[in-house]
Every structure is written in structure tokens, then in C-alpha cells.
Amino acid sequence: MSLSGLHTGLGTLLLAMAIGANAADANRALEIVQGKCFICHGNEGESSSPLFPRLAGQHAGYVARQLADYKSGRRKSDTMRPMVEDLSGEDFAALGRYFESRPAIAHEPLDGELAQGATSSIEATPTREFRRAPVATAATGTAPTRCRGWRASTRSTSRPS
């Protein structure tokens, strides 16, 4: 066998191994998706509810990082932690590649007004009045206060509409 033939044979072998490894990764990812992910995120990464993130078309590295963060506890979720506790870094990478390869499907927005540009409750309701919290000073002797969000100017326990 010539040196050229040896290189060709070695190249073919390496290509076959790479294809086999990719197929094994894809099969492992599909096994995980069908065993764990599909309930909330769907087999193709299209969520069953707006409560769950859509994973289809998401960057592979981002998906893998989020899964690793759930496993380490850096990102908190009582739902996701048990889902990832028995998975490895290779599994996270395979899942990332799997969901990245799924096409994202366009959906109509649930809130058309928000999708058209109303970016905040202040912009959506311009007549609403907001008061500043008092500033603590040595002269007034008032204690420092902190923002209480939408309850800052009301004692109501209901969220404004």
C-alpha cells in the first residue's frame, strides 16, 4: 500500500469515526429529550406553554451552559435541578447541539400591543403618577427608604392594571 493510499484510508476512518460520534451524540440527545425534556419543551424544542422557554434554534453553548448552571446550583430551579442531576457535560453539549439544530417556528405574539412597541407600564399608561420616596437628610432626620416597586405610592395589595 502506498503512502497516499494509507492517508486516504486513515482519512476515511477518521471521517467515519467522527460521523459515528456525531450520530451517537444525536441519539443520546434524542434519548434525553424523549425521556425528560419533551414534557415542557417539546420534542423539537417548541414549548408546550409560554411558561417554559423555547429551545428550538437556541445557541448550543448557551443551552449547555444553562444546564450546567442548573446542575451546579448556580442557577436555581426546583424543576430543572432533578432533570439534570444525572447528566454529564457531554450530555449538555449534545442537548445544546440538538436544540440548536431544530428550526424555530414563528408564533403570533400573545400581547400584540407590547410587540408593537409599548415597552413599559409607564409608556402604556402615561397619565399614571409616580411619587419619589423621601430622601434621608440630617436636617429632616428621616431614615433612608428603598424603592418598593409598584407599591411605592399605594397601600393596595392588588397589582395596578
pLDDT range class, residue 115, cuts 50, 70, 90: confident
Residue 34 has what DSSP assignment?
Answer: I
Question: Which residue is it, cell 450520530?
Answer: 23
> Residue 63, Cβ neighbours under 10 Å: how many?
21
Whole-number Cα distances in Å, 25 to 62, 96, 120, 130, 156: 17, 11, 43, 54, 54
What integer pLDDT is reported at residue 138 of this predicted model? Answer: 53
Indicate if the pLDDT at residue 151 is higher than 50. Answer: no
- Band of pLDDT at residue 98, cut at 50, 70 and 90: very high
Query: If you search the block for the grid coordinates 476515511, which residue do you land on?
Result: 12
Is the pLDDT reported for residue 77 higher than 70? yes
Per-residue pLDDT, 105:
87
Residue 72 pLDDT greater than 90, yes or no: yes
